């Protein structure tokens, strides 16, 4: 894949403000935000400030090992979030991009299956929605909120520069 979509820091700032405006205008305000680490950490932080929602958790998922290179399945990495803390809450799951959509689907499944299991108990299930900066046409999941759509490989401002070493 030679063609790239480049997101600048300014584009990230503007994009997450616009995405937040979409969320607010939909009339749905989350009680808490879950960032899908690591790609969702910066978008989730920006959206958290723009929404004024201070409660944030993270789910750390590993799937890509390089440009277009993935493991067989996305997998949850420690430290694991205590999902019981989302009981009865409106949850906004935030990631950088829904590409295959499999990472986001896995996280949404973990949350919704937890909600389902609560149906047999006494607690009210959660309502989970998801927001991404970019979605790709092939994604298996259609995000509730997306800023842009592209089928190119995206360069995010936080992951294009090399790691700093001594
Ligand atoms: P998915 O499970 O939707 O295929 O992708 C999961 C994760 O892989 C994304 O959250 C992101 O961190 C990484 N990823 C997928 N597509 C791209 C891309 O086009 N550019 C970059 N930099 N990362 C990507």
Q: How confident is the model at residue 52, as a pLDDT?
A: 98
Q: What's the confidence (pLDDT) of residue 122? A: 46
Confirm whether the ipTM is greater than 0.90.
yes
Q: In the prediction, which pLDDT does 21 show?
A: 98
- pLDDT value at position 67? 80
Is residue 37 exposed (0-12), middle (13-18) or buried (19+ Cβ within 10 Å)? middle
Binding site membership of 7 for ligand 1 (Cβ less than 6 Å): no
Contact 107, 98 (CB under 8 A): no
Q: What is the pLDDT of residue 123?
A: 55
Return the pLDDT at 34.
97
Alpha-carbon span 61 to 52, nearest angstrom:
25
Atom of ligand 1 nearest to the CA of 152: 19
* Residue of 139, 131, 137, 165 whose CA lies nearest to 151: 137
Identify which of 80, 78, 81, 83 has the alpha carbon closest to the alpha carbon of residue 114. 83
Atom 4 of ligand 1: nearest residue by CA position: 100
In this prediction, residue 152 carries a pLDDT of: 97
| Atom 23 (ligand 1) nearest CA | 154
Q: Which atom from ligand 1 is nearest to the alpha carbon of 74?
A: 2
Pocket test for ligand 1, best of 63, 93, 131 (most atoms within 8 A of CB): 63
For residue 6, report the distance from its CA to the centre of ligand 1, in Å.
Answer: 13
pLDDT digits (tens, 9 = 90+) for 149-163: 999 999 999 999 999
The Cβ-side half-sphere exposure at 55, using a 13 Å CA radius, reads 10
Write the DSSP symbol of residue 78. Answer: S
Local structure of 98: helix, strand or coil: strand
Confirm or reject: Cβ of 42 under 6 Å from ligand 1.
Answer: no
158 lines ligand 1 (CB under 6 A): no
What is residue 66's predicted lDDT score, i.e. its pLDDT? 82
Using 70 as the pLDDT threshold, list the residues of the chain that sit under it. Answer: 1, 115-125
DSSP 86: G
């Amino acid at each position: 894949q030679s063609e790239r979509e480049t997101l600048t820091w300014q584009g990230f700032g503007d994009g997450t403000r616009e995405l937040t405006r979409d969320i607010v205008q939909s009339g749905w305000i989350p009680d808490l935000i879950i960032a899908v680490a690591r790609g969702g950490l910066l978008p989730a932080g920006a959206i958290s400030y723009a929404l004024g929602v201070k409660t944030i958790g993270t789910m750390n998922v590993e799937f890509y090992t390089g440009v277009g290179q993935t493991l067989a399945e996305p997998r949850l990495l420690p430290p694991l979030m205590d999902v019981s803390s989302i009981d009865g809450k409106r949850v906004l799951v935030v990631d950088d991009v829904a590409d295959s959509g499999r990472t986001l689907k896995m996280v949404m499944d973990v949350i919704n299956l937890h909600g389902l299991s609560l149906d047999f108990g006494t607690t009210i299930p959660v309502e989970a929605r998801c927001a991404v900066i970019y979605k790709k046409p092939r994604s298996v999941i259609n995000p509730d909120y997306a800023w842009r759509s592209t089928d190119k490989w995206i360069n995010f401002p936080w992951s294009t520069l090399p790691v700093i070493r001594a």
